Structure 1
Amino acid sequence: MATPRIELVDLRKSFGDNHVLGGVSLRVLPGESLVIIGGSGTGKSVTLKCMLGILKPDGGQVLIDGVPDDRADRAAFLSDFGMLFQGGALFDSLTVWQNVAFRLRQGPTRLSRAAARTRAIDKLARVGLGPETADLYPAEISGGMQKRVGLARAIAADPRVIFFDEPTAGLDPIMAGVINELIRELVTEMGATAVTITHDMTTVRTVADNVAMLHDGLVRWHGPVSEMDAASDPYLDQFIHGRAHGPISAVR
């Protein structure tokens, strides 16, 4: 079996008396699209932040290509990753192309302004935005277009791994469908490894190769998306069908 691009081994994380992760173990193979699902407060975002190194786990390990993620050179490590943030997280004071090219203009290998602009316009085209959008500001474009700009920024450096944090949050169903299809196309085209966290089942069914269900800081189910509907796990069954009654309390 191939070495996992990302592996979590018995990951634990608490904030005071709030025990968020109670021993999460997951493997994400190269080129795989893993979607982590679960309700609010189940540990999805904390898991993602531990993968990214934003949070240091209290116990367990994060392995990148089989190597423990305790390296000092975080800049080189993070250069292999792209990220689509839940709220877009665009810089209001920068134009669209400057947002897309932000990483390309940083660090010792930064591109010239002209080269970065050219790359940004190419990536904007890949997400369906024309060059006429390049010099606009985020406030001058729609929410759906902002999400596309965020996606263009995520792929600007041709990363090996892309993280998607609630990629369709705040979008209407039609635009959400467009973004889901675009994510699937881009991940497949680039051969990238993808990790998505979401509670939107349409995103799950469009984007995922494999699904991991988190609840109370534990992985309750992990398997191919094609086996999800037939799985017998009560937590997974209640969540994916939106049932009011089951082991997941509606009061959280």
Structure 2
Amino acid sequence: MITLRDVHKAFGDNHVLRGVTLDVPTGESMVIIGGSGTGKSVAIKCILGLVQPDSGTIEVDGRDVRSGDRDAFLARFGMLFQGGALFDSLPVWQNVAFRLLRGSLKRPWPEAREIAIEKLRRVGLTPDAADKYPAELSGGMQKRVGLARAICAEPEIIFFDEPTTGLDPIMSGVINELIREIVVEMGATAMAITHDMSSVRAIADKVAMLHDGIIQWTGPVSQLDESGDPYLDQFIHGRAEGPIEAVR
């Protein structure tokens, strides 16, 4: 579904992506891991066309991401943002139905509200949450709202940016289970970036490690612990000593 070939991106003298090559098969969940500042978010922004790579090719379903109808292209995606990125001035249901209230996916307000409430139920929130504002919700509830918004328009591809950041271990586990259930249920292609190894093991079919601007290792999540790659081994076990230099 998603193919990156020799993708490079630099910001001035900072060469973030130095030849990223990666395949994300249709209907599978790919998780990209790597240290802070290694370019995980930049890679996702390049796929979405929010950042233009300096060289290389990126295709979604066999088509170059720079070609075709931009609105139709973006309509295929859902996104769960790291910080939730909910609109404080809008009630929860309007946050969830944001894409259904405007643009090419526009629906009548009553229909959009009904769909939003259905998606809220799917992520474990009751209908009475629909008319609350984000500030009235806990962090875990806000994350559920963000997940409901990500799936509201039934996207083919869902991106998850650090889906458990700021959550306690129990709520992180709940969100991970929800993500896995929903991705399987929808048959969606999923791509996540995270530092949380419990998330990796819960939601990934395959894992790719981004280090020094390239994909250092990629393979099934079942092979994480016996990969034999020193970079991956150091990262997943959180060791200070190894080929990855810790910033002191």
Aligned-pair RMSD on alpha carbons? Answer: 0.8
1:155-207 CA-to-partner distances (Å, cap 9, x unmatched) read 00000000000000000000000000000000000000000000110000000
Q: Find the partner of 1:99 among 95, 101, 126.
A: 95
Structure-2 residue corresponding to 1:141: 137
Q: Which residue of 2 aligns with 1:230?
A: 226
Equivalent position to 2:79, from 71, 80, 83: 83
Aligned partners of 2:95 and 2:20: how far apart in 1?
Answer: 34
Q: Distance in 2 between matches of 1:27 and 1:55?
A: 19
Mapping 1:210-221, distance limit 5 Å:
210-221=206-217
Question: Which of the numbers 145, 151, 154 marks the counterpart of 1:155?
Answer: 151
Q: CA deviation at 1:108?
A: 3.8
The C-alpha deviation readout for 1:38-73, integer Å capped at 9, x for no partner, is 000111111111111110000001111111112252
- 1:247 Cα deviation from its structure 2 partner: 0.5
- Cα–Cα, structure 1 residues 108 and 226, in superposed 2: closer, same or farther, change >3 Å? closer
What do residues 4-58 of structure 1 show as CA deviations (whole Å, max 9, x unaligned)?
A: x100000000000000000000001110100000000111111111111110000
Counterpart-to-counterpart distance in 1, 2:71 and 2:88: 24
Alignment of 1:21-100 (within 5 A): 21-100=17-96
Q: In the TM superposition, what are the counterparts of 1:109-128 in structure 2 within 5 Å?
A: 109-128=105-124
Q: TM-score, normalised by structure 2?
A: 0.99
Shift, 1:107, TM fit:
1.4
Residue 164 of structure 1 aligns to which amino acid in structure 2?
F
Asked if structure 1 preserves the Cα contact closer than 8 Å seen for 2:91 and 2:133, the reply is: yes
2-structure distance, mates of 1:235, 1:48: 22
CA contact (8 A) 2:48 2:65 kept: no
Secondary structure, counterpart of 1:228 in structure 2: helix
Contact 2:99–2:105 (CA under 8 A) maintained in structure 1: no
2:167 is aligned with 1:171: yes
SS of 2:226 mapped into structure 1 = coil
Count of aligned positions = 248
Give the aligned residue type for 1:172. Answer: D
- Give aligned-pair identity as a percent: 69
**C-alpha separation in 2, matches of 1:156 and 1:203:** 22
**5+ residue gaps in structure 2?**
none
Q: Deviations over 1:117-148 (max 9, x none)?
A: 00000000000000010000000010000000
Structure 1: gaps of 5 or more residues? none
Deviations 1:64-100 (A, max 9, x none): 1111112252111000100000000000000000000
Give 2:90's aligned amino acid: L
TM norm structure 1: 0.97
Residues 179-188 or 67-76, more deviating: 67-76
Q: Partners of 1:108 and 1:196 in 2: how far apart?
A: 26
Q: Which amino acid aligns with 1:91?
A: F
Could you say what secondary structure the match of 1:21 adopts?
strand
The answer for the alignment partner of 2:237 in structure 1 is: 241
Secondary structure at 1:35's aligned position in 2?
strand
Amino acid corresponding to residue 148 of structure 1 in structure 2 = R
Matched letter for residue 186 of structure 1: I
